[in-house]
Structure 1
Amino acid sequence: MNFLLRSLSPGQRLPAGAVRQSLPWVMISAGLLFRLIQYGANRSLWADEATLALNIVNRSFSELMQPLDYQQAAPVGFLMVEKLAIELLGNHEYALRLFPLASGIASLFLFYALAKRCLSARVLPVALGLFATLPSLIYFSSEVKQYASDVAIALLAWLIVVHLSRQKSIFLSQIGLYGLLGAVLIWFSHPVVFVLAGTGLSTVLISWVNHQRTRIKSLLATYSLWALSFIAFYALLLAPLSSRDDLTTSFVGHGGFPASPLYIIPWLFFAVGKFFYKPLGFPIPLAVVALVAFGFGYRSLYQKNRSALLLLLSPVLATLAAAILQQYPFHQRLVLFLTPFVTVLIAEGAVQIYHKASAKGLSWLGGLFLALLFAYPVMTAGALLVEPNWREEIRPVIQYVEEHRQPGDLIYVYQRGEYQFKYYAQRYGYSPEDYIIGVDDLDSEDGYGLSEQEAQRYRADLDQLQGSRVWIIFSHIAQVADETGLVEARLNQLGDRIDGFYRPGAYALLYDLSQ
């Protein structure tokens, strides 16, 4: 950090020669290391990953074009790559997470290319340092979901639009090439349309202001190919999802959409402010630090480079507009793809704050601000060197049960771990008749939490297990201590606990209910 602060001092240049050139690559290498460590941990699939993995594993390539089971949705291009990975490498976690990892790694280099276009050399290491260590970007680089690839594709789309718009002359071959690239990306990422539309509209506006009428015609010709691709994509694949009222209701309740037109303005403040908490991943007090830096970064680029500011903000504005129209939720991981554009402004603002403080003889205050901004990302990323993140480690739990169960033992799966268990069941030779999935929790009917009706259902379901030794497998248990507590309490009434095996987010208990 001291080295970085010296490189940012007013009136000083970045270290000369090899050090100046190597500093960005040091940041990129650190980001690469953190992503590889988390990927190499090979943690068990958690519930959300397992539901998508079951679709990928149990469907053919053509069947992945149809609406997915278990209330899942993912871009068809992503699904095809995932299916190809397990066909070539086998059905295991490493294969399923390979494309997200590749996307996370590619994002580091693509972000470098973006940041170089918008930031000075003295701000670049700060931006790369943040992007390399933000916990959400590291985590989703080893998650069997499309969010890491959304980030990489958003960066690639932005670079394509900006590169095309800055060409002195746009030839017919370039229109075809860039038109084809953008058209293909739409099938690999749902939210990339907001990047293409937002930045595309911005480049047309910038060209109009600069009286570049010929360029506008070439840009619109390219963008028309993207529009045709999106129309086809929407008609074939997105239309069935857009009619899902349950998704709209859910995202209104979670703040992804404004509840009504009357609440649009307060919702905008809430949605933008929450973005710095999730998906950026700053704890709430430090999210305020990042938000302040963002504000200074906005002001700085507004004064120095309004075109760059517009191009950076246009994907964010397009996504907010879609959320206001209730077409796409501005909510947590679903807007992770906007992280690169916001990170650039945070870095610009943080350096501006440091310079302003230093100009007043308060360099210590500017250094403290930078330290607060980097504290949590660096701390969480560094912790991976000691121990990777675990979530719901059901795989070793199932393995323990398999190694210790006796003939005649029943296996009862707590219903929140159903899809994880089903994914691993085939690996350990279980057929559906070898286990019992617990009774549903009725959350879709009476809301989240333990109701009396649910409690009665749990007790009646467990009472049917009497007369045998029973392995109870728990997973996906965060924030449901009332349910798991009730299950264990009922089992303790029915028999004796004789064994237990615990791992992060999952465990198994053996009860003798034969008496």
Structure 2
Amino acid sequence: MPVPVATDTPLPFGHTTARSQWWAWASALIIGLGLLLRVVVWWQQRSIALDEANLIRNYVERSYGQLFQNLDYAQYAPPLFSVVVKACIGLFGNNELSVRLFPLLCSGATLVLFRQLVQRWLPLPFAALALASVAFGGLFIDYATECKQYATEGFVALGLLEVAHWAGRRPLTSRLALGLAALGAAAVWLSMTAVFVLAGMGLWWLTRSLLARDYRTTLRLVLMGASWGGSFLVYFFLLLKANAESTYLQQFHREYFLAFPPLSREDFSLLSGQLAGIADRAIGKTVLAMALAAVGAAVGTWQLLRRRDELFWLVLVPVLVCLTASALHYYSLIHRLTLFFLPLVIVVVFLGLATLATRRVPFVVLVALSLVVLGNQQRLRHLFKPFYGDYAEVRTGLEYIARHQRPGETAFMNYNVSPVAYYYLQLHTPPLHLRSVVLQQPHPSPTDLFEDAIGQMRQQGQGRVWLLYDRADESISTLAAAQGRILERFNFERGYVLLVQFAGPDAAPGR
């Protein structure tokens, strides 16, 4: 008995309304502004961050083949992502625009794919609101313009969903199965989280074939799944296992592993905080936003569990598999690692709200509440105002030192700043030039602190020293004032630069 192919069955609440054309135009405007916002923020060229600097250094120092090994400088990225970024550096030079080009393109493609997804599965008003959450959400904008793999993972996830939707409406011929096997096997090398989406796709197709007793298709699906699983196992044991099971990373991500099942009051508190964090990143952090996210997610999840249709397998199952991996301490829910499934969470939430809108809650009330929530997520002001992520604008501080440093003055960069300084002084095209600079290297000793370095410079008879600090707190300023005299200060986003006149090695500090 052949497997029945899926059809585009409209949702119970339908798409057709008197204002459908208006909502279609609204969606087009949202996607246009979302794409423009990403390009503008990318063109602003904010400073390279610490992890970006360490990742780019791997791309400069390694061959393409060596990118399929564990990376140096405490970095990880899928090999195919690394290959593409290294190629961009080779083609366009080593600068903020080139290293962030691939994430930008992936984020833009994600937005286009998400529009197709929500307009297929949600009523147009709720599709437009869901689209705005992805178009203007701060996390999506941040990683659309950062040299890290998270925007790429979002693109791969939605791209696989689109492939699944297309392939699910066709008989699984041997040729199609072979193409899907190759696509899935390659996807895990571009995005680690592809395995979660592939799990939903495979289970959907396998369930349909078993129910239809189409054993020829079932055999093809098993072989296809074996190619996906085999590719992931090679990837896992080659690149992931050592890092995933390392004591350091287990401790670092301890509070980001899903606290399920909660066995204590602390577990309940941690679990509620983790779920609230996901709701914050998907919808907003206000009480109203949290309430809408909770209600929408509960109703949407119930609808999908009850229907067990395409949406259940392709949207809900990948999230559930990811949460299971997190509960087993194999996947962290730190904010950047949730970006790939946030669009899926948004779909579930707005599916729940759309369901309520056709039943007990007035439609106009839910739309108004959704607009209030989305007001917390907008980033359109960054079309005219620089966008800053979670990191200091170290480049601005370095440029200030380069303009004002005089002969005999030394610039000192502590180990948190050194990788970024190294990038701009040695790898960037064109590089910055400082007269004299000391880059402190990371050291396992707990006593290797800023204070020790300052003491060493005083003992060495250093006179005027430039200090660059990538935090907004005043700890280094206070320390410098106790050890010498601050002659000049320059503040930049999330940090500051000091020019300090140190006393001689035998003089009392502060004099």
Q: If the TM-score is normalised by the length of the shorter chain, which range does it land in? A: 0.7 to 0.9
The equivalent of 1:510 in structure 2 is: 499
The equivalent of 1:184 in structure 2 is: 186
The equivalent of 2:62 in structure 1 is: 59
The equivalent of 2:438 in structure 1 is: 436
Deviations 1:257-303 (A, max 9, x none): 549984698465553333112x4372252233322222232344455
Please state whether the residue corresponding to 1:377 is helix, strand or coil.
coil
Please state whether the residue corresponding to 1:296 is helix, strand or coil.
helix
Counterpart pick for 2:282 among 256, 270, 280: 280
1:30-429 alignment runs, 5 A limit: 30-167=33-170, 169-252=171-254, 254-258=255-259, 262=263, 266=268, 270-277=273-280, 279-280=281-282, 282-285=284-287, 286-302=289-305, 306-356=309-359, 359=362, 365-378=365-378, 381-390=379-388, 391-426=391-426, 427=428, 428=431
- Range with bigger deviation, 392-401 or 228-237: 228-237
Shift of 1:161: 2.9
Counterpart pick for 2:463 among 468, 471, 477: 468
Shift of 1:58: 2.6
- Range with bigger deviation, 93-102 or 169-178: 169-178
Shift of 1:146: 0.4
Code of the residue aligned with 2:495 in structure 1: it is A
How many residues are treated as equivalent by the alignment?
484
Shift of 1:82: 0.8
Q: Would you say the 8 A contact 1:473–1:508 is kept in 2?
A: yes
CA distance in structure 2 between the aligned counterparts of 1:233 and 1:469, rounded to whole angstroms: 51
The equivalent of 1:457 in structure 2 is: 452
Please state whether the residue corresponding to 1:376 is helix, strand or coil.
coil
CA distance in structure 1 between the aligned counterparts of 2:296 and 2:194, rounded to whole angstroms: 26
Shift of 1:99: 0.5
Q: Would you say the 8 A contact 1:355–1:366 is kept in 2?
A: no
Shift of 1:413: 1.1
Shift of 1:96: 0.4
CA distance in structure 2 between the aligned counterparts of 1:86 and 1:123, rounded to whole angstroms: 40
Please state whether the residue corresponding to 1:222 is helix, strand or coil.
helix
Q: Would you say the 8 A contact 2:413–2:440 is kept in 1?
A: yes
Change (3 A) 1:72 1:467: closer
Change (3 A) 1:123 1:455: closer
CA distance in structure 2 between the aligned counterparts of 1:16 and 1:454, rounded to whole angstroms: 61
The equivalent of 1:4 in structure 2 is: none
Code of the residue aligned with 1:160 in structure 2: it is V
Code of the residue aligned with 1:389 in structure 2: it is F
CA distance in structure 2 between the aligned counterparts of 1:438 and 1:453, rounded to whole angstroms: 10
Shift of 1:128: 1.6
CA distance in structure 1 between the aligned counterparts of 2:70 and 2:59, rounded to whole angstroms: 12
Q: Would you say the 8 A contact 2:67–2:82 is kept in 1?
A: yes
Change (3 A) 1:136 1:490: closer
CA distance in structure 2 between the aligned counterparts of 1:54 and 1:350, rounded to whole angstroms: 46
Code of the residue aligned with 2:380 in structure 1: it is G
Change (3 A) 1:43 1:465: farther
- The structure whose residues are more often helix, as a share, is 1
CA distance in structure 2 between the aligned counterparts of 1:464 and 1:257, rounded to whole angstroms: 49
What TM-score, normalized to structure 2?
0.85
Shift of 1:247: 0.9
Please state whether the residue corresponding to 2:383 is helix, strand or coil.
coil
Deviations 1:417-444 (A, max 9, x none): 121111111244559x9422358697x9
- Range with bigger deviation, 40-49 or 280-289: 280-289
Shift of 1:357: 6.0
Deviations 1:187-206 (A, max 9, x none): 00111111112332233224
Change (3 A) 1:260 1:440: farther
What TM-score, normalized to structure 1?
0.85
CA distance in structure 1 between the aligned counterparts of 2:376 and 2:119, rounded to whole angstroms: 25
Q: Would you say the 8 A contact 2:41–2:383 is kept in 1?
A: no
Please state whether the residue corresponding to 2:331 is helix, strand or coil.
coil
Q: Would you say the 8 A contact 1:47–1:420 is kept in 2?
A: yes
- Percent of aligned positions with the same letter in both sequences? 25
Counterpart pick for 2:489 among 500, 504, 510: 500
Q: Would you say the 8 A contact 1:469–1:514 is kept in 2?
A: no
Change (3 A) 1:14 1:59: farther
Change (3 A) 1:335 1:358: closer
Change (3 A) 1:11 1:470: closer
Please state whether the residue corresponding to 2:491 is helix, strand or coil.
strand
Code of the residue aligned with 1:492 in structure 2: it is A
The equivalent of 1:3 in structure 2 is: none
The equivalent of 2:6 in structure 1 is: none
CA distance in structure 2 between the aligned counterparts of 1:358 and 1:238, rounded to whole angstroms: 47
Counterpart pick for 2:17 among 13, 16, 32: 13
Deviations 1:122-165 (A, max 9, x none): 43222222221222111110011000000000111222234323
Counterpart pick for 2:477 among 461, 472, 488: 488
Q: Would you say the 8 A contact 1:466–1:494 is kept in 2?
A: no
Please state whether the residue corresponding to 1:337 is helix, strand or coil.
coil
CA distance in structure 2 between the aligned counterparts of 1:117 and 1:227, rounded to whole angstroms: 30
CA distance in structure 2 between the aligned counterparts of 1:382 and 1:14, rounded to whole angstroms: 29
Shift of 1:471: 0.9
Please state whether the residue corresponding to 2:375 is helix, strand or coil.
helix
Code of the residue aligned with 1:463 in structure 2: it is R
Shift of 1:84: 0.5
Please state whether the residue corresponding to 1:123 is helix, strand or coil.
helix
Shift of 1:473: 1.3
The equivalent of 1:449 in structure 2 is: none
- Range with bigger deviation, 300-309 or 100-109: 300-309
Code of the residue aligned with 1:38 in structure 2: it is V
